[in-house]
């Protein structure tokens, strides 16, 4: 057990993750803003800046959910570029597609229901793969990183935007209180779902530390790997290249 939660085997984890995102799809955007007091928008903007995505490029927004990152990439690639919003969960994908169409983002955005562990795209397809707040939900992270490497073009880059581990003790204490005491309560009142938000706190603690994830990227074949801590390490952005 970990923080009072039972360790689940990998099949159970896939089901559990699906259940979590099915039940949060509708309240997902409101909760993101509430939980992070809007800061997730800044983290996402910085991730997109670090991706260096330019006009006419092809981007995979993996575990893209309701499409925040897709919307930012869409502006960068322009009408002749392409962004693929990909997610394992059909309900999240539908919510994302409806949102993007409502914003008028059509023509250069495509949708795909995929599992990050075995991407159904040809080798060397994308200039950039970005996975935002998604990797920690993936059961076999090494397989997923290898799969992302495979679909990147040479010169392409991977951006992993993910919750990470506080870089100092004070932040750690405040953050522990926030995520284990307050967050499940906010989840209970706003999304009527305490358990999913407890799972969120739990999955963040189990996610590899900054240096460990960097090593996993190196092992998957990525080069020039580095990471940037944001908000005292609450979030980290990892970047690596396929050379």
Residues that bind ligand SAM (CB under 6 A): 17, 21, 63-66, 68-69, 87-89, 92, 114-117, 132-134, 137-138
Q: Is 137 annotated as a binding residue?
A: no
Looking at the Cβ atoms of 45 and 79, the one nearer to ligand SAM is: 45
CA distances from 179 to 11, 132, 234 (A): 26, 19, 11
Q: Is 115 annotated as a binding residue?
A: yes
Q: Is 80 annotated as a binding residue?
A: no
**Least Cβ distance, residue 170 to ligand SAM (angstroms):** 26
How many other C-beta atoms lie within 10 A of the C-beta of residue 189? 10
Residue nearest to ligand SAM (CB): 65
Residue 216 tokens, joined: 């996993």
Looking at the Cβ atoms of 50 and 92, the one nearer to ligand SAM is: 92
Opening angle at CA 156, ends 117 and 204, nearest 5: 45
Residue with tokens 């963040």: 204
Looking at the Cβ atoms of 57 and 162, the one nearer to ligand SAM is: 162
Query: Which are the contacts of 109, defined by CB distance < 8 A and separation ≥ 6?
Result: 70, 74, 82, 83, 84, 85, 100
Q: Is 70 annotated as a binding residue?
A: no
**Least Cβ distance, residue 14 to ligand SAM (angstroms):** 7
Q: What is the CA radius of gyration of the chain?
A: 17
Looking at the Cβ atoms of 14 and 56, the one nearer to ligand SAM is: 14
Q: How far apart are CA 214 and CA 211, in angstroms?
A: 5
Can you say which residues are annotated as belonging to the binding site for S-adenosyl-L-methionine?
66, 87, 115-116
């Amino acid at each position: 057990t970990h923080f009072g939660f039972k360790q689940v085997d990998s099949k159970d984890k896939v089901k559990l993750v699906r259940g979590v995102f099915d039940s949060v799809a509708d309240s997902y955007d409101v909760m993101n803003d509430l939980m992070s007091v809007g800061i997730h928008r800044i983290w996402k903007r910085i991730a997109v800046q670090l991706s260096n995505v330019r006009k006419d490029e092809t981007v995979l927004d993996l575990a893209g959910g309701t499409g925040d990152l897709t919307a930012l990439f869409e502006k960068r690639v322009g009408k002749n570029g392409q962004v693929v919003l990909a997610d394992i969960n059909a309900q999240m994908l539908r919510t994302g597609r409806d949102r993007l169409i409502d914003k008028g983002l059509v023509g250069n955005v495509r949708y795909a229901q995929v599992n990050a562990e075995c991407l159904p795209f040809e080798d060397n397809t994308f200039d950039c793969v970005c996975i935002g707040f998604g990797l920690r939900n993936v059961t076999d992270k090494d397989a997923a990183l290898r799969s992302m490497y495979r679909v990147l073009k040479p010169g392409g880059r991977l951006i992993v935007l993910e919750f990470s581990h506080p870089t100092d003790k004070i932040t750690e204490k405040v953050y522990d209180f926030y995520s284990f005491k307050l967050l499940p309560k906010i989840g209970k009142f706003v999304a009527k779902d305490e358990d999913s938000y407890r799972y969120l706190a739990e999955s963040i603690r189990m996610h590899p530390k900054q240096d460990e994830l960097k090593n996993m990227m190196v092992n998957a074949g990525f080069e020039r790997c580095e990471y940037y801590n944001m908000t005292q390490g609450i979030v980290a952005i990892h970047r690596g290249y396929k050379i």
